[in-house]
Each structure stands twice: as structure tokens, then as C-alpha cells.
Amino acid sequence: MLALAALFGAVIGALLGLVGGGGGILAVPALVYGLGLPVAAAVPASLVVVGSASAVAVAPRARREVNWRIAGIVGAAGIPTALLGGLVNHHLDPQVLLLVFAAIMVAAAVRMLRSTTETGGVCDLPGGGVAWRRCLPRAILTGLAVGFLTGLLGVGGGFLLVPALVIALGLRTPNAVATSLVIIVVNSIAGLTPYLAAAHGTGTMNWPVIAVFALAAIAVSLPAGRLARRIPAAVLRRGFAVLVLLVAAGVTFQAVTALAT
């Protein structure tokens, strides 16, 4: 099991480094279907892995590519809703959660595939400032929505954040990727809190598996982040969208099969 955890962690770390997302959408299915963890344990484990790997992956991009003001607003807006999502998670059927998970992935991927241009104009002003009148409401709404889904589904939110930052806020893909990593760290910490409180003394957190998973993801995320600078932004965006669609199809098949039996 630990060898498989290392393999899956390496794949997730590569995705986080390259596209600033995708780790959570693979971590939960990998932990559930690949390593046999129940959804209740896979969700918080995913947050630990994705949050720690994102913190490392953002390091080479922190100075030049992160929009810290947008990251602060979106991240702060998502903290209370991430806590709420973690509480709601305990009252929903795990297979239903996975189906919701898949539906959101499809919607995000379709929007990314339709987006052929990078406007850079919704939040940006010509002089390098931020058009807060247009940008602030969108940034807050984005943070609220992604934060709730982070706590509910156990993802860092990257698969939603990257398209949201590109399409809704007008950030260019490299900046959206780097900024999303910062927000993922904030959301993961907030979303993990109710799970840790519920798991205290119950032993539901498989820490050896989580540690191997996270260390492998961290080890790969940093070189993957450097490699991403050499790949055209459009290629990253489209490849990310295709990956999300493939994972959504797999999650849907598994969840429907489980509900039918």
C-alpha cells in the first residue's frame, strides 16, 4: 500500500506543479479506489496531501507569478465556507458526493476548453493595478464557492480555481496557476479543521499512508513547477481540461456502479 501511495503522490505532485490543480480530483479517487480508504478518511487525507504539496509547488512562482492581493481575497473568503463544507460532508452519502464531484469537474473542464483567449482585463488595469470595482465581487464569490467545495469534497479547489481565475477574473494562465496554489493551501487548512476535530481519538486518519503520499507529491511538485515555465499556457489549459474530463468519467462510473449494487 505504501508503494502505491508513493506512486499516486508523485502523479499528484506533478499535476500540482504543472497546472496548479488536479491533485485533489485524483487524490480522492486514488485513496478510495486505489488504496481502499473509505471516503470519510480519503477526504481529509487528500486535503493534507494537496495542501502540503501546493505549499512547496508555489515556491518557485511566489515572487513573479502569484497575484498576492487576489490570493488574499479569494483565500480569506473561502475560509468560513470551507469549514461549513467540512461539516456538511458528514451528512451526505459518499457516492452522492462523488457524483457531485464529477459533475463539477465536467463543468469546469468544458469552460476551460471553451476559453481560447486570455483576456487579462477583468481585474487588471493598464498601469499594473487592480480594477477592484469589477474584480472584488467576483473574487469574493469565487472564494466562497471554491472554499465550500474544498471542505465538502476534500479537494484543494485547483480544478475550479484555475478556470475561475482565468475566466471570471481575467488572470493569465501562469498567474492563475501560481495564485491558485496559494489559495489551495489556505482552503486546505480551513477545510481540514472539522475533519481533524471529528477524527480526534477515532483513528480514522491513516497517517503512514498520508505521509508517504504527501512526501512523494512534494518531491515531484517542485521540479514540475519549473518545467511548467517552458510549456505554452494554452497547452497546459487544454491538457488540464482533458485530464479533468477523464477523471470525471472514471469517478462517475465507479459511483454509479456502487449505487446500483
Tens of pLDDT, residue by residue over 217-241, are 888 877 887 787 788 877 877 887 8
pLDDT for 140 equals 92
Indicate the pTM of the whole model.
Answer: 0.74
Query: Using the 8-state DSSP alphabet, how is residue 67 labeled?
Result: -
d(CA 245, CA 232): 21
pLDDT for 171 equals 81
Q: Assess contact for 22 and 240: CB atoms under 8 A.
A: yes
d(CA 76, CA 187): 9
**Which range is least confidently modeled, 5-9, 52-56, 71-75?**
52-56
Count of domains for the chain: 1
* Average pLDDT value for residue range 130-150: 83
Tens of pLDDT, residue by residue over 170-228, are 787 788 888 888 998 888 888 888 877 766 555 567 788 889 988 998 888 778 877 87
A 10 A CB-CB count for 67 gives: 22
pLDDT band at 115 (very low <50, low <70, confident <90, very high): low
Tens of pLDDT, residue by residue over 16-33, are 777 756 566 677 778 887
Range of the domain at 216: 2-260
Mean pLDDT of the chain: 79
- The set of cell numbers assigned to 205 is 486518519
Count Cα atoms within 13 angstroms, Cβ side, for 56: 22
pLDDT for 20 equals 59
Q: In Å, how far from its chain's centre is CA 202?
A: 27
- The set of cell numbers assigned to 180 is 491558485
Report whether pLDDT(141) > 70. Answer: yes
